[in-house]
Amino acid sequence: MATSTPVRRAWRALIGLLAITAALFGINALGVYAFGQSSWVPELALDLQGGTQIVLQAQTENAEPPSTEQLEQAVTIIRQRVDASGVGEADVATQAGNQIVVQIPGEADEETRQRIEQSAQLQLRAVLATSNETTGAFIGQDGNQTPYPTPDPSLPSTPSPSPSDGSDPAWITPALQAQYDAYNCSDPANDPANAPADQPLITCDPTGTVKYLLGPVELDGSAIDDATFGLQQTDGRWAVNLVFDGEGTQIFGEISQRLFGAAPPLDQFAFVLDGSVLSAPQMNGVILDGRPSITGSFTQESAQVLADQLRYGALPLSFEVVSSDTISATLGSQQLQIGLIAGLIGLILVALYSLAVYRALGFVIIASLIVMGVLTYITLCILAWRIGYRLSLAGVAGVIVSIGFTADSFIVYFERIRDELRDGKSITGAVEDGWARARRTIYISKSINVLAAVVLYILADATVKGFAFTLGLTTVIDVLIFILFTHPVLQLLARTRFFGSGHPLSGLDPEALGAVYRGRAQFRAPVSAGKTPAARRAAKARGEAERRQTIAERKQAELAAAESGKPATKVKDGDH
């Protein structure tokens, strides 16, 4: 079995980096050409691109203004719906005491509009009666369709006896039965969304093909902890899976015990969203774990929209869309150009500094930054597709700041290599040992950067989340580049003639760095070439090495010199 050499490890790392890069480009290409939902350009945020503004006005009883707490709760829920990750750069704020202004980057699609405009007031009601006759008419003896008469106001409307639970048929009074018979699902005057929660409800499904008479509300959306969507294993249909909280689990368990085994349609319960029955499944068992599923004529998209709406709870108020307009960018492309120019200037300064201090070794820094830029760019494109990430000016600032952090890591690594060369090690050995010592410092530094970015992302305002996100992302990519590119490239370059021989322009010249040791406390013989440049460089290097001697090394040198009969080099204490 062949041993793993540094060269083989270096090539494996570079091939791995190439595979990761190819995979990222392949994923984005899949999103562009197969799904048509991605792009080869990162999506821009509201401040750089503009977008859509939707104004919602609260609808309250007696036209009374909503409380501040209700509006703030609604703002929180709507923000979660349209920008759950916090990196979509959506802006949600209150206005005029009873309005909420939602600003979304780009053009809002229909699904996003549904998330914003629908109040998603989920109610769980027991089914008292169902009918496929939804026009409020019946077929008379003459064979013609005849509308049911308007309910007589004198019909009894008070249940007798008093209902014992939400599915008690006693709720169906003569007046309610007459209203149910005459109810027309296609009549726009009917508004079941604002029906009282403690009274029965007459409503229909979203398609208007089934009419329902439902009992009072027994659970609402506030009892839901989570909602997800997926395919059912039994029949392959899309379903929305709910998870109730502790109280909701107990109440739903009692409902399931009551409905299971009852005669149809009293064995059904209805999930009602804004007064419309999404699904009214039969209770096929007692569910005590608080994890029911909503099934119906869902597609993947509609199931995902409903799950998102229910996951973020019901709005405390009903809202009406007042306006929906296209708005321009708050900062514009000029600010984006300024940000990009600032980033370019930072890259140029880092490149010039690297070449001035590290000579040819500086090209490794430049190449690493280029690779980092490519990976960051394609990652931002993928994140725009998968989580709706939008690049704002704050995000651009995060990328620019990361350039400085990356340069710090290069300095730590290269200076550690130079320290190893000053200790008299070979260039290949200095690269390996320098990496072994530098990576601990780099990992700790990057961990602190990532931790700071995470804390800032969690605690900061939505306008700063983009900065924290890009800072954390680029820091992680920076570490990846160091492991899979920078160090492997140096491992290979150290074995070339130019770098391996310590050429003065390589940045790894041992003599220029003061590497005059042959071993610990043993120095090279001084060059006796008079005042030649080589002699001056050797004398300078020897002086550098002598100044770096520790007390232990000096004593060891004196002991070695005494044993050999040669005078040891003396260094004054003041030189330390």
For position 470, what pLDDT does the model report?
A: 93
For position 50, what pLDDT does the model report?
A: 83
Spell out the per-residue pLDDT of the chain, length 576, in tens: 455 788 999 999 999 999 999 999 999 999 999 988 889 999 888 888 888 888 988 887 667 788 887 788 788 878 877 776 666 778 888 988 888 999 888 887 777 777 777 665 678 899 999 999 888 887 767 777 788 888 888 899 999 889 999 999 999 999 999 999 999 988 877 878 667 889 999 999 888 899 999 999 998 877 888 888 998 888 888 888 989 999 999 999 999 999 998 999 999 989 887 788 878 888 878 899 999 887 777 788 888 877 876 776 567 677 888 888 888 776 666 777 887 888 888 889 889 989 999 999 999 999 999 999 999 999 999 998 888 888 888 888 888 888 888 888 888 999 999 998 888 888 999 999 999 999 999 999 999 999 999 999 888 777 788 899 999 999 999 999 999 999 999 999 999 999 998 898 998 888 887 765 444 444 444 444 444 555 555 555 555 555 555 555 556 666 666 666 555 444 444 444
For position 515, what pLDDT does the model report?
A: 61
* E runs forming strands in 284-351: 293-295, 318-327
For position 557, what pLDDT does the model report?
A: 64
CB 402 within 8 A of CB 475: yes
User: Is 46 in a helix, a strand, or coil?
Assistant: helix
CB 533 within 8 A of CB 558: no
Is the bond into 161 cis (omega within 30 degrees of 0)? yes
For position 528, what pLDDT does the model report?
A: 41
In this structure, what DSSP letter does residue 31 have? Answer: I
CB 384 within 8 A of CB 45: no
Half-sphere exposure of 340 (CA within 13 A, CB side): 9
In this structure, what DSSP letter does residue 426 have? Answer: -
For position 458, what pLDDT does the model report?
A: 87
In this structure, what DSSP letter does residue 486 have? Answer: I
Spatial CA neighbour of 248 closest among 119, 64, 123, 110: 123
User: Is 263 in a helix, a strand, or coil?
Assistant: coil
CB 542 within 8 A of CB 527: no
d(Cα 160, Cα 296) in Å, to the nearest integer?
A: 35
For position 520, what pLDDT does the model report?
A: 44
